[in-house]
C-alpha cells in the first residue's frame, strides 16, 4: 500500500508539494511540508501560513507539531470525523485519484512515483479547474497577481458561481418536497 500526502492552496488550488511513501507517519507528513516549502517558497516559509489538517495520528503527533512550530507555520485542525470541513483537500484527492491514479495501471512503487510527479506538473500547469474559471492554478495565479482587471472579473465570477450553487440547491429542495393533502 502507498500513501500520498499533499499540500495545496485553498485559494489558487495550486498543489505545492507532496510525499509519496509506503508509510504514513509524522516523518512522512514533515517530508510533504518540506517538499512544499522547497518547491513553492524556495526553502523560506512566508509569514502567516496556516496548515489545515485532519486529526490523523501523523498530524497530532508531537514531532509534527514541533516541526511546524519551528518552521513558524500555524496549524489548525478540522473537527473530528468532519471531512466536509476540509472540502478543498477532499475534492483535490478525489481529482487526483480519478484523473491520474485510477486511469493508470501502477505495477510498482517507482511507476507510482513517476505518475505522481507527472500528475503534479499536469495539475498545476495544464488541468483546468472550474472554480478558477477553467484556468490551471499557475496560469490563474499569474493573471491574479499581474492584472487588476482580472481580479475584478474573478470576484464577479465567484459571486455568479455562488449564486448558481444557491439556485441549484433551492431548486433541488423545491423538487424534493412532497405535498400531502
pLDDT digits (tens, 9 = 90+) for 2-22: 999 999 998 999 999 999 999
Task: Say if residue 9 is in the same domain as residue 49.
Answer: yes
Task: Say if residue 116 is in the same domain as residue 157.
Answer: no
The answer on pLDDT for 179 being more than 90 is no
pLDDT score, position 86: 80
Share of residues in the chain with pLDDT > 70 (%): 91
- Domain annotation covers residue 181: no
Question: Per the structure block, which three cell numbers stand in for 26?
Answer: 509524522
Phi–psi pair at 12, nearest 5 degrees: -90, -10
- Domain annotation covers residue 169: yes
pLDDT score, position 88: 85
For residue 116, the domain's CATH number is 3.30.420.10
Rounded CA separation 53/15 (Å): 15
pLDDT score, position 134: 94
pLDDT digits (tens, 9 = 90+) for 107-138: 999 999 999 999 999 999 999 999 999 999 99
pLDDT digits (tens, 9 = 90+) for 63-81: 999 999 999 999 999 888 8
Q: Which of 25, 18, 7 is nearest to 113 (CA)?
A: 18
In sequence order, the β-bridge partners of residue 30 are: none
Task: Say if residue 31 is in the same domain as residue 58.
Answer: yes
- Domain annotation covers residue 86: yes
The answer on pLDDT for 172 being more than 70 is no
Task: Say if residue 34 is in the same domain as residue 92.
Answer: yes
Q: Which of 51, 48, 12 is nearest to 129 (CA)?
A: 12
pLDDT score, position 152: 95
Entry pTM: 0.85
pLDDT score, position 139: 97
Domain count, the chain: 2
Rounded CA separation 60/101 (Å): 28
Task: Say if residue 62 is in the same domain as residue 119.
Answer: yes
Task: Say if residue 85 is in the same domain as residue 147.
Answer: no
Domain of 68 in residue numbering reads as 3-129
Task: Say if residue 112 is in the same domain as residue 152.
Answer: no
- Domain annotation covers residue 52: yes
pLDDT digits (tens, 9 = 90+) for 18-65: 999 999 999 999 999 999 999 999 999 999 999 999 999 999 999 999
- Domain annotation covers residue 105: yes
Amino acid at each position: 500500500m502507498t500513501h500520498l500526502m499533499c499540500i495545496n492552496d485553498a485559494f489558487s488550488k495550486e498543489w505545492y508539494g507532496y510525499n509519496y511513501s509506503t508509510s504514513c507517519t509524522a516523518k512522512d507528513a514533515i517530508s510533504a511540508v518540506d517538499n512544499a516549502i522547497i518547491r513553492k517558497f524556495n526553502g523560506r516559509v512566508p509569514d502567516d501560513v496556516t496548515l489545515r489538517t485532519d486529526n490523523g495520528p501523523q498530524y497530532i503527533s508531537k514531532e509534527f507539531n514541533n516541526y511546524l512550530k519551528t518552521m513558524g507555520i500555524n496549524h489548525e485542525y478540522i473537527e473530528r470525523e468532519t471531512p466536509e470541513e476540509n472540502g478543498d483537500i477532499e475534492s483535490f484527492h478525489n481529482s487526483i485519484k480519478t484523473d491520474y491514479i485510477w486511469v493508470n495501471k501502477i505495477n510498482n512503487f517507482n511507476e507510482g512515483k513517476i505518475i505522481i510527479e507527472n500528475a503534479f506538473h499536469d495539475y498545476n500547469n495544464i488541468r483546468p479547474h472550474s472554480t478558477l474559471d477553467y484556468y490551471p492554478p499557475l496560469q490563474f495565479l499569474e493573471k491574479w497577481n499581474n492584472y487588476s482587471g482580472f481580479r475584478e472579473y474573478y470576484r464577479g465570477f465567484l459571486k455568479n458561481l455562488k449564486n448558481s450553487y444557491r439556485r441549484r440547491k433551492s431548486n433541488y429542495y423545491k423538487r424534493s418536497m412532497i405535498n400531502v393533502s
